Amino acid sequence: MQDAIRVLAGECAVRYESAGTIERDLRGDVVVVVKPDDTVLVHDADGYQPAAWLTRPGVVRYTRDARGFRLDAADGDERLVVESATEHGDAHYPASPAGPPVGTCECSGTLVRDGGRVVCVDCRAQYAIPRDAAVTDDACSDCGLPELRVQRGVEVTACLDRECCSIADVVRNHVEGVWTCRCGEPLEIQSSRGLRAVCSHCGADHRLPRGVVDGDCDCGLPAFDTGDGDRRCLDDGCKHELQTTT
């Protein structure tokens, strides 16, 4: 994926096909937007919705000759063809995710939140974060990037850059050796597609839910207050019923 949007404009013939059937056959002055993920949007003068589009096609071919441009996008049995009769313009523009500003990058650019990541709109540095994490106004004392706040048994803060100070390391420092497995051995905190509480003795392996520990389940494992009125065992397959919080 390239961080640029291509914009084509002209009087064009636009054809959209699905399973070999032409569903749209249009002609007019349009603007064609090709996004970094290759999504193609064809806009005319009417309203906000594209006149035709193809989302994340597998193939986008662009050709040009003396008559103008031709764009041919295909994905499975879908096809979108835009062919200019008169060309008005052809340009590339920088593009980045647009999200709420959450701080300043090490390059002094603006960091924005984009779902499960934070991205710099200047240098394009990006950091994967849990979707339930809050990006705080506080800066890391070591690198200056924003800190994250998340609940994984305890509420902790860690650096946006996991190479600097990761959530896993902070949670490990707080709870490792404090929680015990059903077999009586201490649980270790490991990072593998999320945080997990693992017993090296019996092999038990539990993904840490969001929330903070609120007592124990009848099975002996920690119980979590998830923050939405529910309590659940560390083991999401546990059959014991827990009283909800008020």
Give 27's strand partners: 13
pLDDT number for residue 244 = 66
Q: What is the mean pLDDT of residues 206-223?
A: 91
CA distance 8 to 81: 13
Q: What is the DSSP string of 47-106?
A: SSS-SEEESS-SEEEEEEETTEEEEEEEETTEEEEEEEEEEEEEEEEE------EEEE-T
pLDDT at position 156 is 93
Q: According to the model, what pLDDT value does residue 175 have?
A: 87
Give the CA-trace dihedral at 162, 167, 169, 174, to 10 degrees.
160
In terms of DSSP bridges, do strands 78-94 and 4-18 run parallel, antiparallel, or are they unpaired? Answer: antiparallel
Rounded to the nearest integer, the mean pLDDT of the chain is 92
Torsion, Cα 48 53 57 61, to 10 degrees, reads: -110
Residue 150 to residue 227: CA distance in whole angstroms: 12
Q: What are phi and psi of 159, to 5 degrees?
A: -75, 150
Q: Is the pLDDT of residue 245 over 70?
A: no
The mean pLDDT of 122-145, rounded to a whole number, is 93
Instruction: Report the C-alpha gap between 12 and 28 in whole angstroms.
Output: 6
* Pairing, β 188-191 against β 195-198: antiparallel
Taking residues 18-32, report their average pLDDT. Answer: 95
Name which of 32-46, 67-81, 190-204 the model is least confident about. 190-204
Q: What is the mean pLDDT of residues 226-231?
A: 82
**Would the pLDDT of 1 be above 70?**
no
**% of the chain with per-residue pLDDT over 70:** 98
Q: DSSP secondary-structure letter at 239? A: -
Mean pLDDT computed over 126-138 = 93
The pLDDT tens digits of the residues spanning 167-197 come to 999 999 988 888 999 999 999 999 887 899 9
- How large is the average pLDDT for residues 92-102? 92
